[in-house]
Homo-oligomer: A and B are copies of this chain.
């Protein structure tokens, strides 16, 4: 039941249409809750039906019309309740880790490639998040901002996203290099074996 609350949380920062929300999700909220546009539209419809958000039509000339949504009082109350309720534990869910788990039993080459790809994707996200953080805090330094800024929620979650991506990148690079070294060692020992086999004949 957290998608609805993630949507409410995102709408707290301003009016959005489904389409805009999908974009905003990708950079901000996706740090802790990923969702496809279809889900967002569906959730917005449900939330409106339940009176937790209110939508208004905006007629546009050169673009299709859109509906902007904002959180109602009931929506705010719902968020309050949610914040007070117990949360379930967080966890990683990652294909690539499954592959690493079996990396010493199956072909390694492809996994190494994927680790490096992942590392560079993480790098990209790190830069993005860094820029977002600078933008959110303005000219003041972090300590100051965290003490006195008015809207620190998104900043705090971005910090978590950033550290996650950094750890992820570092781990990917470390593991890639470990697997590479091991396959190089194996290669060498295979060559040696061939050589000695030849010598025996």
Cβ–Cβ < 8 Å partners of A8 in chain B? 102
User: Which of B79, B102, B159 touches A171 (beta carbons < 8 Å)?
Assistant: B159
Cβ–Cβ < 8 Å partners of A107 in chain B? 80, 83-84
Across the interface, do A29 and B92 meet the contact criterion of CB distance under 8 Å?
no
Across the interface, do A90 and B87 meet the contact criterion of CB distance under 8 Å?
no
Selecting from A36-44, A50-58, A129-137, A162-170, the interface stretch reads A162-170
Cα of A82 to Cα of B114 in the assembled complex, Å: 12
Across the interface, do A167 and B163 meet the contact criterion of CB distance under 8 Å?
yes
Across the interface, do B182 and A171 meet the contact criterion of CB distance under 8 Å?
no
Cα of A110 to Cα of B83 in the assembled complex, Å: 7
Q: List 8 additional contacts besides A84-B110, A90-B97, A164-B164; criterion CB under 8 Å.
A: A32-B97, A83-B99, A83-B110, A86-B114, A87-B99, A104-B152, A152-B182, A163-B170
